[in-house]
Amino acid sequence: MMKLAMVFPGQGSQSVGMMHAYGDIAAVREVLGERSYPDLAAIPPEVAIDIVDVFRKPEFIPAIVDDAIARGARAVWMQLGLAHNAAAEKARAAGLAVVMDRCLKVEHARWAAAHPHGRP
């Protein structure tokens, strides 16, 4: 199952929830049995992160990308209305996939409708 780190405004500078992809999250300690963390660095190293899903203002994105790179995430996804070209280039240079100004839930629904059997 894919792991999704969702970065959204919370207490302190950010709050991170680990959960299976395509779910909703609130600023709580646990969601659907998955623990939430104060930041990406606090996620145990044995937990692989597939996507860092960013809900923060653009001025926070460079630091989040730095954390995603350091943490070994595979991708950074900036939600609707969010983009940061310099941070995106840095992420791509480090080997991460980058999506900007897109809603993960909307794009997943679009992909699922186009691929009803789960394959492209």
Domain limits for position 15: 3-114
52 is a domain residue:
yes
**Residue 88 resides in a domain:** yes
Alpha carbon distance 12, 15 (integer Å): 7
- Cβ pair 30, 36 in contact under 8 A: yes
What is the tens place of the pLDDT at every residue in 32-59?
666 777 778 878 888 888 888 888 889 9
Checking if the pLDDT of 6 tops 80, the result is no
Entry pTM: 0.76
What is the number of structural domains in the chain? 1
Could you tell me if residue 119 is inside a domain? no
Query: What are the strands, taking DSSP E only, across 1-120?
Result: 3-8, 15-20, 30-31, 34-37, 51-54, 75-78, 97-99
Q: Which residue has the tokens 């394959």?
A: 119
Instruction: Identify whether 45 is part of a domain.
Output: yes
Higher pLDDT, 40 or 114: 114
Tell me the CATH number at 102.
Answer: 3.40.50.720
